[in-house]
């Protein structure tokens, strides 16, 4: 399973890199994943919200579409000069998120990364987890806020605040590689999962 985490100028460090480490630990424990950090556009380095510079493996493109795409937040709630809100206003990243979802990519939002998914137009009539400071913006995209740690609608998975990326990573491992590997990673990282995973009922 190919997984990518897309980085843009002003992304939140922990929001993006927490699931990256969790999924890397999952690979060590036997999860059949490949994971890459990719830029939202063609560039070699991306600067995060607190100034950390990250060298990326590639950039986001349809001819290298992942099976699962993780979209971090950062900069949405305080309307930063760089960050998720700016990316939503530019529209380029949201267009490719929508196109990848249409082609079958599972899209995952961490914190206000879910607002980028909303701006992509694919959350209408979907239930969503979101940082509490942004949840009141969801109705204009037709999304329904649920106050759970993680909300899994099948082809869209969203998680709440900054630290929820750890729990999202563990849920991805559990859903696609089993609870045993997820529990092993949780134990190895000396972490105890928080909150509830709400999952869309399967008919």
Residue 42 is encoded by which pair of tokens?
């063609």
Output the pLDDT for position 202: 75
Domain that holds residue 116: 2-199
Q: Distance (Å, rounded) from C-alpha 138 to C-alpha 32?
A: 34
Q: Give yes or no for a contact between 155 and 106, defined as CB atoms under 8 angstroms apart.
A: yes
Q: Give yes or no for a contact between 38 and 8, defined as CB atoms under 8 angstroms apart.
A: no
Mean predicted confidence (pLDDT) in 152-161: 97
pLDDT digits (tens, 9 = 90+) for 99-136: 999 999 999 999 999 999 999 999 999 999 999 999 99
Domain of 191, CATH number, reads 3.40.50.880
Number of domains in the chain: 1
Output the pLDDT for position 203: 66
Nearest of 95, 76, 71, 77 to residue 86 by alpha carbon: 76
Residue 20 is encoded by which pair of tokens?
């990256």
pTM of this structure: 0.97
Q: How confident is the model at residue 76 (pLDDT cuts 50, 70, 90)?
A: confident
Residue 36: Cβ-neighbour burial (10 angstroms; 0-12, 13-18, 19+): middle
Strands 34-39 and 2-7, sheet pairing:
parallel
């Amino acid at each position: 399973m190919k997984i990518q985490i897309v980085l843009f100028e002003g992304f939140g460090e922990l929001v993006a890199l927490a699931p990256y480490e969790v999924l890397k630990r999952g690979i060590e424990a036997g999860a059949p994943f490949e994971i890459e950090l990719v830029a939202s556009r063609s560039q070699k380095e991306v600067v995060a919200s607190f100034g950390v510079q990250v060298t990326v493996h590639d950039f986001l493109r349809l001819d290298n579409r992942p099976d699962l795409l993780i979209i971090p937040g950062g900069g949405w709630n305080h309307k930063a000069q760089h960050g998720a809100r700016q990316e939503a206003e530019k529209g380029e990243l949201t267009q490719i998120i929508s196109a990848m979802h249409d082609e079958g990519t599972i899209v995952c939002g961490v914190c206000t990364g879910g607002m980028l998914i909303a701006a992509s137009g694919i959350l209408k009539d979907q239930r969503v987890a979101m940082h509490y400071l942004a949840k009141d913006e969801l109705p204009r995209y037709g999304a329904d806020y649920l106050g759970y740690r993680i909300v899994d609608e099948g082809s869209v998975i969203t998680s709440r605040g900054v630290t929820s990326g750890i729990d999202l990573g563990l849920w991805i491992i559990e859903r696609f590689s089993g609870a045993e590997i997820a529990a092993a990673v949780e134990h190895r990282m000396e972490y105890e999962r928080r909150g509830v995973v709400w999952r869309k009922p399967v008919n």
